[in-house]
Structure formats: C-alpha cells, structure tokens
Amino acid sequence: MKVLRWLCLFFATTAMAQQPPFRVRLLSLYHLQEVTIAPDGPSTLRLDGKQEKLMSTIAVRVDGGSIRIGDRAAMRVAINGPVRISGGTIRPMSVHVPLEISAVRGELRVIAVYPTEEYVAAVLQGETAGDMPPEALKALAVAIRSYATRFRERHKEEHFDFCDSTHCQYLRTDVSPAVQQAVTQTANELLWDRGSPLAAYYHKDCGGRTEDVASVWPDQRSAALVAHEDPYCKRVSKDWSAELTREEIAKALEAAKLQVPVKWDRIVVTSHTASGRVQRLEFRVGESQQRATMSASSFRFALGHALGWNTLKSDWYEVSGNGDRFVFRGRGVGHGVGLCQTGAAEMARSGKNYREILAFYYPGTANAASAQGIPWISRAGKVDVRAVNIPDAERVLPASEEALAWASQKSGLVLSGRAAVDVYPTVEMFRNATGEPGWVAASTRGDHVRIQPPSVLGSRLRSLLRHEFLHLLVESNAKPGTPLWFREGLVLYLGDESRSSVVHPMTTDEMSHAIETRSDEASVRRAYEAATTRVAAFAKQYGVRELLRWLRSGIPNDVAVSSDKVAQ
C-alpha cells in the first residue's frame, strides 16, 4: 500500500495558537468495571467509528477486552459534548471535553482530551478550590501550566499524558469563576529555564524554608529550584505533630514492602537535607547492630498510603519515643520544592503581583508564552534564521532560501511578511518549546518555522523546509476560518506528495479534529491522507487555480457539504 511519503518521514504541522491537548486518565484510582454516562447537553457517541447522538443515560461496562453498551459491543467508545459520569463509589463528575473509553487489562480506561487552558483550570481547582487571593491563583496557574508542559507524556507507555491523582496533578472539573479568571489572565504563559519549560514544582506549605530540588529529584537540578528562606510562609505556617503506635508504623511498612528488623523499637534520623528536612532514617533494635535504613520520602509515602496523607505532613520533623509509641513534631506540608501555596497567598495579601510571586519562588526564570533563555545567534538573507550554533545556522539559511523559492514557484503564492526559521539544538528543546509530540519534526506558527536539529533531520531537511514554506505561503494567504483539513491537504497536494491508494471515509470535521488534536500518529496519518485525497479530487474537478481562490475567499458551502456526503 502506498502512503504519503512525507508522513512516513516525519509529520510537520501548522501549530495551533496553543499547545496540543493533554490526554488525562480520569478516575485513575478506581478499578472500573462499569460507569454511567448521562448527557448534560448536546452530545454524540461513537462506537468503533460509527457516530450517533447521545440522547439518554447509558451504562458502559467492560466485557473482557471489549466494551458493552446494552447489547452492543465495541473496542473503543468516543464521546463528544457535556456529560456527567457516575456509578458505584465514584464521586459524580461533569466533563465537557472529549472522552475516549477503552478496555485495558479487564478494566475501563477513561481518557479526557483537555485543551491546555481547560486542563490548567481543572488542576488549579483541584489544588486550591479557588480559595486563594487572585494574584496567588495566577502565579500557581503559570506553575501548573509549566509543569504540565515540561512533563507531558509522563504516562507515555500507557498512551496518555497524566493521571488525575496526586501522582501527577490532582484535578476537579467543577471550576470556580475565580480559578477560570486566573487561568484566562495568564493564558499561554510559561516559566522558562535555559530555553526549556521549568519543572515548576509546587506544594502546600514550606514551613518557612523551601527545599532544594536536587534533594528530592536529583535529575531536575536547576538554579531556579534551590532552598531559600520564605518569610511569607513563616508568618502564618503552623507546626504539626503526629503520635503513632509501633503497630501502625509496622503495618504501613509491611504494606509498602519496606524491610526493617522484626523487633525494631527505635527510629533514628541519620541525615538531613540542606534545608533541614529529614533525608534518611534508621530502624534499630535497641543498641544492637540490627538496623535498616530508608529514605524519609519512602517512609512518608508508606504512612500516607496506609494512614492518610495528613499523618506525616512533610519530611521536616523530629521524632521521639521508643518501644510502642512514637511522636513526630514537624512543620510544612508537602515536599517543599518550588512555589509554596501558603507563602504565595501571603505574598498576594501583602500586595505582591503574580510575577513578583513567581520571581520569588523560581528565581532567574523568564515568564512568557514562547521559549526564553535560549542563546540564539542570527543569520539573515532572504529568510531570517536563528540557531544556537553557527554550523546549523549556515546550513539552514541557504536551504531555507531555496525552499522559499521552490514553494513560491510551486504554488504561485506570495508571502505577505518576512519568513523566519528557528533551529532547536535538541529534540527535547524543540518539543518543550513547541509542545509538539516526538513524531512531529517541525511546526509553523504565523511567519515562523520551528524545526528539530539538522543532525536529526539529516537528508530530510530539504524536503521538510520545502513543506514548511508551503505552509507559510498557504497560511499567509488563507482567509480567516478556512478549514484546517483544507489548508493541510492543499499543502500536501501542492507539494506533489504521493497519495494513499486507500480511501479513508472521514468527514471534514473528523479530519480537522484529528489533525488539530494529534492524539496519536496513526489517526493523524489517516486524516492527512483523507485531506490530501479530498483536495486532489477537488483539483481534478475544479482546477488548482479555483482551489487557490477558495483559499483566499472561502470554500463554497455546497462543495464542502457534498464532499462530506460522498465521504460517508
């Protein structure tokens, strides 16, 4: 089977105004066998590609490796539109973003496809319930967005980005007006650290001193995440204490499979981090040499899972007692790295704005919508090129000038502005700055082309730049509102990309949705193939000149409708 040659090499896309959506596993702490889904407005249901209106409440249950809705079976269910999910011990939740439901290892897996800003709002609601001053909410919104961008695809092996528990970022779907306003007022803003989105950790209460990230996550070392005094939190932070029996501790350690001497009767702190938090503990048997060492974080997580997360609230404590009863006296809540929510709220009450709050907790970072802190060098000709090293710039500049000339001749279109190309030095930096998945090699936004390193692209560089400059020309000549599927299909058609011999029966809305969300490579490939086939059919029937007129003035409605009917 012939497939689009371009797509087999690498995807290259026109970037949306925001990052691609986040795929979030909902109800991740439940072992779901069945859920009830009720429409909460106009909604659609799709079973293995067949779409229908969702008119009434349905029960979705797992049946081995498939899903059942009544007497109908499917491998995958997709729902679009507002719905309410409930059932069993589930706390009912309203969801307004697309859902994908599948059966995985005998359980239902529910994936919500969240646009970036809606995901940030849901997490901010989960973290704060909106109960913070506005400037503190705005600061935390930027931190949440940065964290999500940095750690996108955390659950890549399971085909989603994040879960909805505290393992990733806890979220709530009932977003308050205060939270929504904070997200809207900081839309697209990220914290940048040396050209990459910052690993913007945050926590509840630092107790008066934040923690160095290297003490908790050594692989995330950053000058923006070092321990420092926090007088704002210290003003209002309250100490805590916990009294636990030996039996309670022993059961928690056993459940977590942490090995300690059978007859231990002492807990001794053996080392601290630079901030004064406990780093390692020993469990001892009297004054004998029988002892076992474990990290403070492992101990706290074991107690949290078994006895509740408010039992041992942080790793900043002293422990006393021996034998059957132990008392922990401490301060702070959480790991202590990054933004302290208690301190941020106090800063806001003191008149600090969200940028000042971010500068205090993440010193040295830049706050912006696009990559900051990259040491660019520039080369200018008929195209402006920015790169980190001179060889990349000198290689890409002539290739870009050739690509622009080729694309202009091929399409007959004229670029309205001056083109620029950003050459990222690593794939990771490209992905972090653009928000694109790893299988996308380049993206175009406005008059800017952004590409992966030439060393990675190799012989593909020439064809990739030609493709991207066709994107620039098409986008600069497109009437606002011109469908995404048409613009993408036209680029591939004008570039003489070979087309698939397989016809994919997709509507125009389905093509645009698949290309825009880019949830998986196979779906995007099918959408591109379908779009290119559709545009090729138009070109054969109406001529390329007419298609270029549609690009500038809009596709006639009767043409779009009739082509959808043929596709179905």
Q: Does residue 65 form part of some domain? A: yes
Q: What is the pLDDT of residue 499?
A: 55
Residue pLDDT, tens place only, 151-174: 988 888 888 999 988 888 889 999
Element (H, E) at 37: strand 34-39
Return the pLDDT at 141. 98
Identify the burial level of 568 via C-beta atoms within 10 angstroms of its C-beta, where 0-12 means exposed, 13-18 middle and 19 or more buried: exposed
Higher pLDDT, 412 or 562: 412
Please tell me the predicted confidence (pLDDT) of residue 500: 54
pLDDT at 45: 95
Q: Which of 30-39, 134-143, 364-373, 424-433 holds the top average pLDDT? A: 134-143
Q: pLDDT value at position 561? A: 56
- 421 Cβ contact list (under 8 Å, min separation 6): 383, 384, 385, 386, 396, 400, 448, 449, 450, 451, 465
| pLDDT > 70? residue 54 | yes
Tokens representing 168?
């990733």
pLDDT at 3 over 50: no
Per-residue pLDDT tens over the stretch 344-400 = 999 999 999 999 999 999 998 887 666 666 778 899 999 999 998 899 999 999 999
What pLDDT score was predicted for residue 9?
Answer: 38
Same structural domain for residues 445 and 379?
yes
Q: Which domain holds residue 512?
A: 480-567
What does the pLDDT look like over 326-346, one tens digit per residue?
999 999 999 999 999 999 999
pTM (predicted TM-score): 0.70
If asked whether residues 230 and 340 sit together in one domain, one would say yes
Tokens for 317, please give them: 């404590």
Same structural domain, 211 and 348: yes
Q: Tell whether 200 and 345 lie within a shared domain.
A: yes
Which region among 26-35, 213-222, 521-530 has the lowest average model confidence (pLDDT)?
521-530
Do residue 225 and residue 351 come from a single domain?
Answer: yes
Residue 4 has pLDDT above 50, yes or no: no
Domain-ending residue, one of 278, 305, 330: 330
Q: According to the model, what pLDDT value does residue 17 have?
A: 37
Helix, strand and coil content of the chain, in percent to the nearest 5, comes to 40, 25, 35
245 touches 267 (CB < 8 A): no
pLDDT for 568 beyond 80? no
* Domain termination site, one of 90, 114, 138: 114
Whether the pLDDT of residue 496 is over 90: the answer is no
DSSP state of 480: T
Using CA atoms, how far apart are residues 39 and 321, in angstroms rounded to an integer?
56
99, 114, 129 - which closes a domain: 114
Does residue 16 sit within a domain?
A: no
Predicted confidence band of residue 234 (pLDDT cuts 50, 70, 90): very high
The answer, yes or no, to whether residue 1 has pLDDT greater than 60, is: no
Tell me the CA distances in angstroms from 326 to 266, 292, 409, one per residue in order.
9, 17, 79
More confident residue, 444 or 296: 296
Per-residue model confidence (pLDDT) at position 552: 93
Q: Which band of pLDDT confidence, cut at 50, 70 and 90, is reported for residue 5? A: very low
Pair (203, 343) in one structural domain: yes
Q: Give yes or no: residues 251 and 175 share one domain.
A: no
Quote the pLDDT of residue 563.
58
Q: What is the mean pLDDT of the chain?
A: 89
CA 216 – CA 342 distance, rounded (Å): 20
Q: What pLDDT is stored for residue 15 in this prediction?
A: 40
The answer to the question of residue 17 being in a domain is: no
Report the range of poorest mean pLDDT among 114-128, 281-295, 347-361, 511-525.
511-525
